[in-house]
Structure 1
């Protein structure tokens, strides 16, 4: 089965035996050229070798060789130059190339052309791109520096930074310590996205760009916004002795918060207040709310309450604006008032009856 598949392929191959050169009977050498012509090449480059037969000679076969071994052979009846194309060079493509031809009516091939030597190098290795400070998220207005460091300082001509649309955002010469830095003095929302960098070296009269660095991501957030404040009971009117819950909610989920509650503009700290209270704050990766709990409301719990929160972004705590205020009014227990009135009225009537009886008896 494999042989049946191979036979058509072999039939299509142009295999031409090349006789040995006979001294004194060889045709004049052809001219071999390469395009583009550089002193060195990079992996991935493409080149084309062109073999031109001298005027007055017509070739029937033409052969390309690398380091003495055949790499291509063509049959031709034309006086036009023949080409050998390498679409993507690699390190193994380096070597000395020649060509020769077999002229019509000749039994021996021509002399070998003068050699054309190419040297193929790998592309310059990628740079290292880092963020300073190194954070997952940044706030609008913060400063950020991208540092691009190459592995071969001293051979670099310049650096380029690219944004998420793969558009060049800046170009720098190497700084005295190696590498280059792109600084955002004040971040904007439009600065968010991945960034990469490359460096280039001067080679063969042109700029040779390195392999692109790995991308680093810049996430930009608006500053903390106003929290929402709510309470239970929603009316804000509560009987003395009942529990009161005041909830402060941050508007987004970033991972870490610290909440603060205020009464009449003064921050509530449990150990510094006469009213028994406690707060239930979320920890890292918790929900973005905190609850101020007053287990038993007292008359001195009456007042105007507000809150704010601190949000941790890029290893720094940033304070939000203060929430809108809610008003709490603590009223006396109605049952207590009723009992007081009943006892008082009863005492009044009893005293009055005693006085009346005493008066009548006199």
Structure 2
């Protein structure tokens, strides 16, 4: 399309900066000024320097306006929601637009254009296709919890660590850390929020934390690391020894018996427990006593006995390994011996022998027992 201007307007027309929708090109000057409308330069491309479109509140973001070809670029113009956010030639020549810290107000579609020279005239290109800046809040910081809860764990006990946080979309991975270094997990899925220790050892003691990772529009987003939790692991104290007093291979019904439990070291013992055939027989009111007294044994007393002690460590009672067992055998009182006479009539002459054999209970051979009353 051509526009004709009268000669009187020629001297008042200054060809400087023209609108971006067209370029006016001088065709001829023969008594009047003939101008042609030319299409603006090709649009540039717009991209995020970081390579992703999702940003968390407060993060910086930089957009780059890219121009193909070798034309001379005078400046760049950036738009948000179709409105200018920069002023033409004042935009730095590298073609970038930076946001120091994104927020909900900076989210939205962005585009750009560039200024170039065409026949000595500064013209503005068409706008680039728009790209959208998405802004999301930071992922909630998780909390690490230990189950079962305890101030310390005994070597060999199981412990499970849970990475707990408010519901978040598209969580793809959890990571656990010990003393600042990632703690590898044995099997399981990366999306599992638990870290399982089947048998705790003293080498596992340390400070633990966790974080989780989500994905939003192709970007991996990590939460902040949870506050650290200390996992304390202690070895089980050594086994005590158990003794019988009096010490007999067998006990007769009604006899007294005392069992004593002795710890091997100087550690402060806070209590003792006695067990018969694997079941505790200690009364809770007497757990601080290192002796278990039976005033008179019965047939129900017979069995395998053991004991443990425990110490207080890090606000928990730590039981020792059990002692080696001792066996208590209980028998009824011995029957009177049975006598026989030889000769059976009991009559002997002077100088002859009289034999009185007695038959004893078989267990009496292992213990000296005096039966009275015969």
Partner SS, residue 141 of structure 1 = coil
Cα drift, residue 53 of structure 1: 4.8
Cα drift, residue 152 of structure 1: 4.6
Q: 261, 264, 272: which one pairs with 1:151?
A: 264
Which deviations, in whole Å up to 9, do the C-alpha atoms of 1:83-120 show, x marking residues without a partner? 12223222222122232333213246544333222011
Residues 53, 134 of structure 1: alpha-carbon distance in 2 compared, 3 angstrom cutoff: same
1:163 aligns with 2:276: yes
> Aligned partners of 1:34, 1:129: CA distance in 2, in Å?
36
What is the root-mean-square deviation in Å for CA atoms of aligned residues?
A: 3.2
1:89 aligns with 2:200: yes
> Aligned partners of 1:98, 1:31: CA distance in 2, in Å?
8
Which deviations, in whole Å up to 9, do the C-alpha atoms of 1:242-284 show, x marking residues without a partner? 665432222334326xxxxxxxxxxxxxxxxxxxxxxxxxxxx
> Aligned partners of 1:197, 1:71: CA distance in 2, in Å?
39
Q: 214, 218, 237: which one pairs with 1:103?
A: 214
TM-score of the aligned structures, taking structure 2 as reference length: 0.53
The worse-fitting range, judged by mean Cα deviation, of 206-215 and 51-60 is 51-60
Q: What does residue range 196-207 of structure 1 map to in structure 2 within 5 Å?
A: 196-203=306-313, 205-207=315-317
Corresponding residue of 1:319: 371
> Aligned partners of 2:301, 2:167: CA distance in 1, in Å?
63
> Aligned partners of 1:192, 1:55: CA distance in 2, in Å?
59
Corresponding residue of 2:189: 74
Which deviations, in whole Å up to 9, do the C-alpha atoms of 1:158-199 show, x marking residues without a partner? 22222236232434254xxxx621222333332222212222
1:127 aligns with 2:240: yes
Corresponding residue of 1:194: 304
Corresponding residue of 1:209: 319
Q: 210, 214, 225: which one pairs with 1:112?
A: 225
Q: 45, 52, 62: which one pairs with 2:174?
A: 62
> Aligned partners of 1:229, 1:56: CA distance in 2, in Å?
93
8 Å CA contact 2:151, 2:316 repeated in 1:
no
Q: 232, 236, 245: which one pairs with 2:342?
A: 232
1:30 aligns with 2:142: yes
> Aligned partners of 2:280, 2:152: CA distance in 1, in Å?
28
TM-score of the aligned structures, taking structure 1 as reference length: 0.55
Corresponding residue of 1:359: none
> Aligned partners of 2:298, 2:170: CA distance in 1, in Å?
70
8 Å CA contact 1:226, 1:251 repeated in 2:
no
Cα drift, residue 40 of structure 1: 1.6
Higher helix share: 1
What is the total number of aligned residue pairs between the two structures? 233
Corresponding residue of 2:46: none
Gaps of 5+ in 2: 1-58, 61-136
> Aligned partners of 1:173, 1:107: CA distance in 2, in Å?
57
Larger Rg: 2
8 Å CA contact 1:32, 1:49 repeated in 2:
yes
